[in-house]
Chains A and B, each alone.
Chain A
Amino acid sequence: MNHKYLTITQALDGLKKKEFTSVELTQMYLKRIKAVEPKVKSFVTVTDEEAIKGAKEADAKRAHGNNAPLLGIPLSIKDNFSTDGIRTTASSKVLDEYVAPYDATVVTKLKDAGMVMLGKTNMDAFAHGSSTETSDYGSSRNPWNTDHLPGGSSGGAAASVAADEAVAAIGSETAGSIRQPASWCGVVGLKPTYGRVSRYGVIAMGSSLDSPGPITKTVEDSALLLQVLAGKDPRDATTSPTGVPDYLKNLKGDIHGLKIGISNDYFEGVDEEVKAQVEKELKVYEQLGAKIKKIKLFHPKYAIALYTILQRAEVSSNLARLDGIRYGNDRSYFGEEAKRRIMLGTYTLSAGYYDQFYNKALKVRTVIIEDFKKAFADVDVIIGPTSPTTSLPIGATENQSMFGELADVLVEPSSIAGLCGINVPCGFSDAGLPIGMQIIGPQFAEERILNVAYKYEQETVWHERRPSL
């Protein structure tokens, strides 16, 4: 089977119509990975054998009338999802030889839905970063310009989709780690509401923020994957019992009268090119009958301070289990960024500093949550740029310990508030790099933001452009 650019919907269609088998499809992707991987470096581990085996099983199941929602669809999984029997490193040498003895709930759900796993994608080590440059296995590259970064931490995941090394990818976001790389790589990235998708088995970064989610070529694929992932997990006490709607049902629904909130602060300090493009694209919504409304939100810069404290504190505690006794490599294998975060987190939680930092951050978090609640009383969604810039060149993060926070300034407030958000491609810079726009909704409003994203996507052509590799 020759290389063919396929969405999940198209691939499922081809499988159902017997245009190709899952084995053929999987082989096509493995071939594609072999061809472009030296340039893109999306994967830490490619699981050829397991993939072919899985594809064979999927074909056999389909022959027996099985119609699971992702049956035979080859996906890439971010390397912080525990995968039974397969190395799970979170892109850190500390876990270089760690083979998880169990599957993350997300992986279990995907397997039950019939997916074929192609491999584990590269990321910033322990998801600490927004570039993949903190990965101990080298940074991934942006398929649109391989001298540039894919963003992060789910950089390998976003690159694998943009480079068409997988039909779609599973990533995770703490604050920006899905939306920002999706923006830089020109693909769709959905960060679900905190508690919508189980964190069980995902190597924790900021436990009160981590949200697994899909990175896809289209909004429809995003809805399709979220359908499989979402729901209460008895193994994750922070998942919500809120009912899971049929995300495809209202996907194409009319958005006439939709109220879109725009905050000036979210355009401040943003690259002129990015700013102008997002502002221009908002007209598409006006043409669709939506109303643009200026709103006032807390300046996103406050979120950086607060996010840095909360997340570092949780990181310092979460990484304590990698104590050098049971996982092969000891703590000297931690990279610079992990060490910095452990130290900062330890400091902010120390006696005498807790009230000054962590406790205060928790209070500010409540203020930010209230701020968004107030905003959503007046508008249905909030739209703004996803990242202040387009993809930056390799090496941009050198000596920039706050790089991630600055790159994620526009996504951190909504992450802190546990809201859902989705990045959709909304244009290209003069240099040919993708520009992304994010649509933020209240908690558990995935159905709404998918609908709003879908309507825009259908009116535009950005998602149809392909990088030449």
Chain B
Amino acid sequence: MPNNKLTPIIGLEVHVELKTNSKMFCSCSADYFGKEPNGHTCPVCLGLPGALPVPNKKAIDWCIKIALSLNCKINEFSKFDRKNYFYPDLSKGYQISQFDLPFGYEGYIELASGKKIGITRVHMEEDTGKLSHQDINGQRASLIDFNRSGVPLVEIVTEPDFNDALEVKEYLQKLQQIVRYLDVSNADMDKGEMRLEPNISLSTDPKKLPNYKVEVKNINSFKFVEKAINYETKRQDEILAKGETPAQETRGWDENKQKTFSQRSKEDAHDYRYFPEPDIPPIVTTKEQISTLQKEVPELPDKKVKRFEKEFGLSFYDAEILTRDKPLANFFEEAVKEGQEQKLNPKDIANFIINKKTDTSTTTPLALVKQITASKQTVAVDEKELAKIIEEVITENEKAVTDYKAGKEASLMFLLGQVMKKLARKADTNLIKDTLKKRLSYSDK
């Protein structure tokens, strides 16, 4: 941890891969994971001379939806730009991205604490190919697979508003939840569908940016990002303690060694020579189109939590768990609806789902309601009848009664079983148990 005079200042860049059927600028399938290398390619995503990009409208709509969900303003006049740099996995020698007019800008995500993390921009770009270095017939070889080349990516950049790794983690969970709610990305970290790049520095004045920043590139797990931030905070703190300034650089996270390592210094920083992509006319999104997209945005987790609290009287704790993913939240609401006739309390449904860890993929809301109702068949048990049965059981099982009173808890369960057997129908076990316990606590027997 940094010494108490220094505050970590952290900003975040997140790349989210959209799950559109086709790629960003051609009609090749965007489903590249685990596919035969270079099978999903064409002149456009291979960047062959003469080939031209045609933007994927759905991807743009989805990017705008993400921006809207992050409370962003939308640039009605937007455009694509070329980001020029050389790398063998970049088929055209430039990446089509967005520079000064991203689709979305100036948004925020609110953390549970009420702190708002500012979103600087939400923009659209294309993914690169993938390099792999292998031994082929005893020779080192570098292979390029362009299946991922041109897959739509949305980049979400925050302001340097985070002050610790936990805030970053919460933000990431919320962001992941939002894109999943929108159904625009699976945001599966293992498949690289969400990639994280924190910028970390330490400042004596939390309101002032220090004169350096360290970027940690391409982290593919929330846990690693947390570790990388904590590691960097400590590393930079030690450098600063010596009166030195950490180098402005790009670092990577080594999970094996549990540390970050230098990848590129400031001197090697690219000049991307951005300029407007001449192959794609500017994109105009009208107010009407924006409001249509806004209407298509579903109720997002934060709102849903509040509604569940208010409408169903759930605790924040329960509401938060039930809204973590949309199918679960929908399942719960369906179950509440199904349970109305039986006058099931939504809280009981919530408890049941949470405690029993109901697998919503193998059961239906109706089945769940039946299950809960069955377990609550208490109405039919007549108090007098129950009292009578309990008396019988106590009389017939003297030894167990004595054992229980001597402190043998298991005997209670035996007696309970006997009562249930005599009752011969489903009943609220808890109620019977309580009644039985109460009866046994009387001193007369």
Contact indicator B54/A321 (Cβ below 8 Å): no
Known: A102-B43, A208-B278, A238-B281. A200 touches B50 (CB 8 A): yes
Q: Select one of B48, B84, B275 contacting A320, CB under 8 A.
A: B84
Say how far A273's CB is from chain B's closest CB, in angstroms. Answer: 38
Interface check A226, CB cutoff 8 A: no
Cα of A102 to Cα of B276 in the assembled complex, Å: 27
- A residues within 8 A CB of B88? 323, 325
Q: Select one of B50, B91, B92, B274 contacting A104, CB under 8 A.
A: B50
Cα of A328 to Cα of B92 in the assembled complex, Å: 16
Per-position 1/0 for A72-103, Cβ under 8 A of B: 00000000111000001010000100101110
- B residues within 8 A CB of A346? 273
Contact indicator B279/A349 (Cβ below 8 Å): no
Contact indicator A101/B50 (Cβ below 8 Å): no
Cα of A468 to Cα of B370 in the assembled complex, Å: 98
Q: Select one of B47, B51, B91, B275 contacting A201, CB under 8 A.
A: B51
Contact indicator B49/A101 (Cβ below 8 Å): no
- B residues within 8 A CB of A202? 50
Q: Which of A88, A199, A237 has the most C-beta atoms of chain B within 10 angstroms of its own C-beta?
A: A237
Contact indicator A237/B53 (Cβ below 8 Å): yes
Interface check A314, CB cutoff 8 A: yes
Contact indicator A314/B278 (Cβ below 8 Å): yes
Interface check A204, CB cutoff 8 A: yes
Cα of A351 to Cα of B85 in the assembled complex, Å: 13
Contact indicator B86/A101 (Cβ below 8 Å): no
Say how far A311's CB is from chain B's closest CB, in angstroms. Answer: 10
Contact indicator B86/A317 (Cβ below 8 Å): no
Interface check B387, CB cutoff 8 A: no
Cα of A266 to Cα of B140 in the assembled complex, Å: 61
Q: Select one of A88, A200, A350 contacting B51, CB under 8 A.
A: A200
> Contact residue range for chain B?
20 to 34
Interface check A58, CB cutoff 8 A: no
Interface check B94, CB cutoff 8 A: yes
Interface check B381, CB cutoff 8 A: no
Per-position 1/0 for B222-248, Cβ under 8 A of A: 000000000000000000000000000
- B residues within 8 A CB of A358? 275
Known: A237-B55, A325-B88. A349 touches B48 (CB 8 A): no
Beta-carbon contacts under 8 Å, A270-327 to B: 313-314, 316-317, 319-323, 325
Residues in chain B within 8 A of chain A (CB atoms) = 43, 47-55, 82, 84, 86, 88, 91-94, 144, 271, 273-276, 278-281
Instruction: Taking A201-B50, A238-B281, A349-B84 as given, write out 17 further A-B residue pairs in contact, using a Cβ cutoff of 8 Å, ordered by the A residue number.
Output: A81-B50, A90-B49, A199-B52, A200-B50, A207-B278, A235-B54, A237-B280, A238-B280, A314-B278, A316-B273, A317-B94, A319-B93, A322-B93, A323-B86, A323-B88, A351-B273, A354-B273
Residues in chain A within 8 A of chain B (CB atoms) = 80-82, 88, 90, 95, 98, 100-102, 104, 199-204, 206-208, 234-238, 313-314, 316-317, 319-323, 325, 346, 349-351, 354, 358, 362
Sorted nearest first, the 9 A-B pairs with minimum C-beta distance are A320-B93, A349-B273, A208-B278, A207-B278, A201-B50, A203-B49, A82-B50, A321-B92, A321-B93
Q: Supply 29 A–B pairs (Cβ within 8 Å), ascending by A.
A: A80-B50, A81-B50, A88-B49, A95-B49, A100-B50, A101-B48, A102-B43, A102-B48, A200-B50, A200-B51, A200-B52, A202-B50, A204-B50, A204-B279, A207-B279, A235-B52, A236-B279, A237-B54, A238-B281, A313-B275, A317-B94, A320-B93, A320-B94, A321-B47, A321-B49, A323-B86, A346-B273, A349-B275, A362-B276
